[in-house]
Amino acid sequence: MQAIAPIFYGACTFERVREQFGEERRYLIVCDSNTRNFCLPLFRGGATELPPVFETEAGEDFKSLATCEKLWTFALQQGFDRDSVWINLGGGMVSDLGGFAAACYKRGVAFVNVPTTLLACVDATVGAKTGVNLLSEKNMIGSFRAPEAIFMDTRYLESLPREEWLSGMAEVLKHGLIADAAYWEDCLAAKLSTLEMVRRSIDIKSAVVAADPLENGPRKILNFGHTVGHALEAAFVRAGTHVTHGACVAAGMWMESLAAEAFAGLSAAEGEAIRAGLSALFPALPVEQLSVAEVRSLMAGDKKNRGGEIRMSLPDRIGHCLFDIAVPAGALEEWLPIYTDTCQK
């Protein structure tokens, strides 16, 4: 399976995509309400006419089979055939949804991603995972399917709200923590341009994915912060509290750094440095609103667990990460109060 798509850096408008894939192909643009407003005008470029645009409402609730069905119906009614190219213009929600819908439509049509969030640039569009949520469980229905290309144009990020920017920064910092200590330091010191961060993060993620496309082993290191992070995210969704994916991953890395000290040999000094770096950037999440038992049970349902044991990906030093480390679920009861006491001061 091809897991890494070609990445084209630089200005990307519809003309650029059509130049790449041919005048004769039919194109369909998938976007959400925000990317239609903020990104489609730039994507139009000098084109007098755009191809048909499918717009979904924005947000995780719409990353669903119901939206896929609307998209498939739209594509069928517009007469799209198997030779068509679908263009996902948006963040990770649009690329996951549009990629999955394209992978299933007529048993698979080509799609490309034009990421418009930092999170999508450095994470969601790289690595061939597509999918939708089911019954408020994240990414339960999906497939491994790589786009034909990713067009990386950081001008699209200029309209991104601060909290969505930070959401992507959590993944950027994670890349440094699991694979490149100097990168972690440079990001904390805000030494890099957006484009430099995107390139370095993509290089790290691509190398990890290329070594293990289907996540049987080393790719799991990308999940640092995600066992706790996903559980927090799901619990906040159930509680009706809006939080971003990255904010939960940042809180997850904060707490999992304590696990890394206890179970992966991370030094106390580096554990402290990780937590200080994260706290400097990310406001504390209101975890006291959540039931510890619920977060614990959500962690127990994590896809990475084996034989009823919680397995985490944890750094043994900054810039290097281990995976499949068994961690007792009860440890969460210690970390949550430490997080609340330290971060909410």
Nearest distance from residue 238's CB to ligand NAD, in Å? Answer: 16
Closer of 187 and 266 to ligand NAD (Cβ): 187
Q: Select the span of 6-14, 122-130, 277-285, 295-303 touching ligand NAD (CB under 6 A).
A: 122-130
Nearest distance from residue 341's CB to ligand NAD, in Å? 29
CA atoms of 230 and 248, how far apart (whole Å): 7
**Mind giving me the DSSP string for 212-253?**
-TT-SSGGGGGGTTHHHHHHHHHHHHHHT----HHHHHHHHH
With residue 291 as reference, give the H or E element that holds it: none
Size of residue set near ligand NAD by CB under 6 A = 32
Select from 63, 145, 199, 226 the one that contacts ligand NAD (CB under 6 A): 63
Which region among 1-9, 29-37, 48-56, 188-196 touches ligand NAD (by CB under 6 A)? 29-37
Interface residue with ligand NAD, options 8, 13, 25, 60 (CB under 6 A): 60
Residue closer to ligand NAD by CB (options 222, 266) is: 222
What region, left, alpha or beta, does residue 121 occupy, with left being phi > 0 and alpha being psi -120 to 50 degrees?
A: alpha
| DSSP-assigned states of every residue in 89-115 | EESHHHHHHHHHHHHHGGG--EEEEEE
Pairing of strands 85-90, 27-32: parallel
Q: Interface with ligand NAD by CB under 6 A: which range of 71-79, 119-127, 185-193, 335-343?
A: 119-127
Instruction: Based on the shown chain and the rule CB under 6 A, indicate whether residue 221 belongs to the binding site for ligand NAD.
Output: no
CA angle at residue 202 from 198 to 203, to 5 degrees?
A: 120
Q: For the chain, what's the residue count?
A: 345
Task: Work out how close the CB of 124 gets to ligand NAD at its nearest, in angstroms, rounded to a whole number.
Answer: 4
Q: With binding defined as CB under 6 A, does residue 220 bind ligand NAD? A: no
Coil, helix or strand for 50? Answer: coil
CA dihedral 199, 205, 211, 212 (to 10 degrees): -150
What is the smallest separation between the CB atom of 54 and ligand NAD, expressed in angstroms?
Answer: 14
SS3 4: coil
Cα 261 from Cα 315, distance rounded (Å): 9
The total of other beta-carbon atoms located within 10 Å of residue 60's CB is 16
Structural tokens at position 123: 């994470």
Stretch that binds ligand NAD, among 13-21, 158-166, 273-281, 283-291 (CB under 6 A): 158-166
Contact 138, 130 (CB under 8 A): no
112 scored as a contact of ligand NAD (CB under 6 A): no
Q: Which is nearer to ligand NAD, 116 or 227 (CB)?
A: 116
**Residue 201 C-beta: closest distance to ligand NAD, Å:** 12
Instruction: Kindly state the tokens that stand for 281.
Output: 């950037």
Footprint of ligand NAD on residues 239-278 (CB under 6 A)? 245
With contacts defined by CB under 6 A, name the span among 30-38, 213-221, 313-321, 336-344 that binds ligand NAD. Answer: 30-38
Q: Which stretch binds ligand NAD (CB under 6 A): 92-100, 223-231, 262-270, 332-340?
A: 92-100
67, 88, 167, 305: residue in contact with ligand NAD (rule CB under 6 A)? 167
Is 119 a residue that touches ligand NAD (CB under 6 A)? yes
